[in-house]
Amino acid sequence: MNYVFDVDGTLTPSSKEIDKEFEEFFLDFTTNNNVTIVGGSTYDMIKEQLGESICNGVDSVFIHLLAFFPAVSQKTRLLLL
């Protein structure tokens, strides 16, 4: 099964580190499933929030362009994603 998760507000509170108990559960989940992480910040920030183990354990990490173009309108954002 394939799964896609957003970082802020889904796997972590916005701009915070992942809960340690949830981190253990999620690491186990990534070993049994195809997981992609989607974030709106830099890879380094995502790695800081989720930890190196999760970033290395998922199938891919997708950084969407809005992290680098915050002034894009909401309508355009939907098209980019």
* Helix (H), strand (E) at residue 78: helix 74-80
For this structure, is 6 an active site residue? Answer: yes
59 in catalytic set: no
Q: What is the pTM of this model?
A: 0.77
Domains annotated on the chain, with CATH: 2-80 (3.40.50.1000)
For 9-68, the pLDDT digits (tens) are 999 999 999 999 999 999 999 999 999 999 888 889 999 999 999 999 999 998 876 656
Per the residue annotation, which of 6, 19, 44, 59 is the catalytic one? 6
Which candidate in 8, 19, 28, 44 is catalytic? 8
